[in-house]
Structure 1
Amino acid sequence: MSRSHTRIWVGIDAGKGHHWAVAIDADGETLFSTKVINDEAQILTLIETARERADEVRWAVDISGRASTLLLALLIAHGQQVVYVPGRTVNRMSGAYRGEGKTDAKDARVIADQARMRPKDFVSLRTPPELVSTLQVLTNHRADLIADRVRLVNRLRDLLVGICPALERAFDYSAAKGPVVMLTEYQTPAALRRIGVKRLTTWLERRKVRGAESVAAKAVEAAQSQMIALPGEKRAAKLVCDLA
């Protein structure tokens, strides 16, 4: 197939499941607009389609993270030039383009047009070395685990407020292991009062809790400040136990 253009720009609104690609020519006219599943075969078809339309294809994406890893790897492996157009730039410029609302196709066209009009403003992308990619995977995974733990601790504290607010205030459950160990067995004021400081200290020491006596004293002191059992306490206590 003969190429009808010297150079075209392809903007890609990248996503986890699929991307949207829009190609424009030097005058900013749309050549094609298409949905591309995040799959090797479909991305390769897109690359071939674009290369058939021009002598030179310049690509632009709005995401340089995990969602676009396969896309970027295939583009760079096939010798294509790719730049990164930040999402904030796309959002800021979208209002200047025709069409209402936010759509993948509109965003892809904005990406392509910004790359066409501002060739020196955006960073070129390269496939990162294996070590960098590995560190990115591990870092993102660690961030997810931290976020999960924060949500879990917040949920635990919320449940404790419905059992005994004083007990919830007594400890920093995100930083101290001992109080969390205690909650695997004792969650209510009545249960803590029954076991008392001495026996709770012994119970915690058997589970290798540091500062067991201090933890036990604070917990029982909090329990002694509340004699009433709150509605839903038993169910909340079971959930606290499971979370702990």
Structure 2
Amino acid sequence: MKEALVTVTCGIDWSEKHHDVALVDEDGTLVAKRRISDDAEGWRALVELLAEHGDHPGDPLPVALETSRGLLVSCLRATGRTVYAINPLAVARYRERHSVARAKSDHLDAMTLANILRVDAAHHRPLPEDSELVQAIAVLARAQQDAVWNRQQLANQLRSLLREYFPAALKAFHVKNIGLTSREARAVLQAAPTPGAAAKLTFRRLHALLRGSGRQRNIETWIDRLQALFRGEQLRQLPLVEEALGRQAQALLLQLDAACRAADQLAEATGEAFGRHPDAAIITGFPGLADLTGAWVLAELGDDRTRFANTRALKAYAGSAPITRASGKSLVVHHRKVKNQRLAAVGYVWSFASLRAPGPRGHYDYRRAEGDRHSSALRNTFNRMLGCLFHCLQNHKTYDESAAFPHRQSMRLSHAS
């Protein structure tokens, strides 16, 4: 956590068209305020205003906003300033400390942000000083993660729709490693979105569709299976209703196809950028992490080694460490709900994939034997692996299972002897 003795702090209330700037001194007195535009001219006005009140390249003034994104934030970070992204809920609570009238304005919000830095800067986390490469990786990785979630959401919508009028299609593509998001399913259903159209698909037409989707093996077996399912007896909607539902399915398929292509293209770009980062070899050395999942992890951790004071801070940020609520005789320990949701999501995938390795698998089995449910045991495994990753990144070391899970290794040796 960065701490500095400053006499002036800056708060900026951000909006799409303009920003309100307020500067307060160490006594909380307003020394300057200005409304600037959201363009290059407004940026110059902000720099001049800060320079008039003690800002210089060697010791820039800290700035607080309610957002961590946008061109203004990017420009502030590029100048080497310490920038704080304060949660809007925390700003609202701080405002209530000084007024119960619930008065609110853009100028007052800017002053509130400046005063938060003046008295409570040590209790807030500044934006990390990440490299340009890792910031680019974060953009690509988060966009790819969003595309994956969007793809799954559209697939769920399509599945619900097909259940209403075409359950044979769900059965046809309910195969290992094949689902509604597969190229085979999208090609066939786009050509025949209704049971009536699917029953009329000939051997030749199905062969062309499967070959065009990229399938090269077992095409004849697939054709026989699809024709048996599509031409078998099944419940049907009324003809006009079935046709309308088919049009709706085609519209969803267009969206699903675009989401699948976006996810694939972003995955390729993310992997390429991740491979250029020096931490890639350390991250992918862990069981359960590959180029894509490793990029997701790096996007949320960054490469600013001073961002997290210790492993406890990182684990709390990721939501893997439990939280305790104690009051009188009441003591409750449960998992965190306020966390980095993206890192927590990849943590579940990471810990599940790592179970192929003996160390994580032994730790997971131990937690299950102690009474943990599947999700709790995976979260505990993620917690352990995250601590190991923090140590390896801080010390530039590669993953060593005997050091990460020494108790499990000793148990294996004792059983072997």
TM-score (norm 1): 0.72
Pairs aligned (count): 235
Is the Cα–Cα contact under 8 Å of residues 94 and 112 in structure 2 kept in the other structure?
yes
Is the Cα–Cα contact under 8 Å of residues 155 and 181 in structure 2 kept in the other structure?
no
SS at the partner of 1:120?
Answer: helix
In 2, Cα distance between equivalents of 1:171 and 1:103? 56
Q: What are the Cα deviations for residues 90-117 of structure 1, in whole angstroms up to 9, with x where unaligned?
A: 2443433435376544443332111100
Q: What are the Cα deviations for residues 186-214 of structure 1, in whole angstroms up to 9, with x where unaligned?
A: 11111222337x56653444334365545
Is the Cα–Cα contact under 8 Å of residues 24 and 31 in structure 2 kept in the other structure?
yes
Q: What are the Cα deviations for residues 19-53 of structure 1, in whole angstroms up to 9, with x where unaligned?
A: 33222232323344444333232122123123324
Q: 2:199 aligns with which of 193, 203, 210?
A: 193
Which amino acid counterpart does residue 134 of structure 2 have in structure 1? V
Counterpart residue number, 2:142: 140
Gap change, CA 1:91 and 1:147, over 3 Å in 2? farther
SS at the partner of 1:136?
Answer: helix
Counterpart residue number, 1:236: 245
1:182 positional shift: 0.8
Counterpart residue number, 2:29: 29
Please, which moves more after superposition, 26-35 or 44-53?
26-35
Task: Write 1 or 2 for the structure with the bigger share of helix.
Answer: 2
Q: What are the Cα deviations for residues 124-168 of structure 1, in whole angstroms up to 9, with x where unaligned?
A: 446532212221222233234334433443443354345435534
Gap change, CA 1:221 and 1:70, over 3 Å in 2? same
Gap change, CA 1:176 and 1:8, over 3 Å in 2? same
Matches within 5 A, 1:45-124: 45-54=45-54, 57-73=61-77, 75-76=79-80, 80-98=81-99, 100=102, 104-124=106-126
1:89 positional shift: 2.9
Is the Cα–Cα contact under 8 Å of residues 10 and 61 in structure 2 kept in the other structure?
yes
Equivalent pairs: percent with the same residue? 23
Counterpart residue number, 2:364: none
Is the Cα–Cα contact under 8 Å of residues 151 and 181 in structure 2 kept in the other structure?
no
Is the Cα–Cα contact under 8 Å of residues 38 and 70 in structure 1 kept in the other structure?
no
Task: State the structure with more CA Rg.
Answer: 1
Counterpart residue number, 1:128: 130
SS at the partner of 1:46?
Answer: helix
Which amino acid counterpart does residue 36 of structure 1 have in structure 2? I
> Where do 5+ consecutive residues of structure 2 fail to align?
1-5, 258-417
What is the RMSD computed on CA atoms of the aligned residues? Answer: 3.6
1:183 positional shift: 0.8
In 1, Cα distance between equivalents of 2:88 and 2:227? 49
Question: 1:206 aligned to 2:211?
Answer: yes
- By relative contact order (CA 8 Å, sep 6+), the higher-ranking structure is 1
In 2, Cα distance between equivalents of 1:174 and 1:31? 61
In 1, Cα distance between equivalents of 2:92 and 2:171? 43
Question: 1:43 aligned to 2:43?
Answer: yes
In 1, Cα distance between equivalents of 2:11 and 2:98? 15
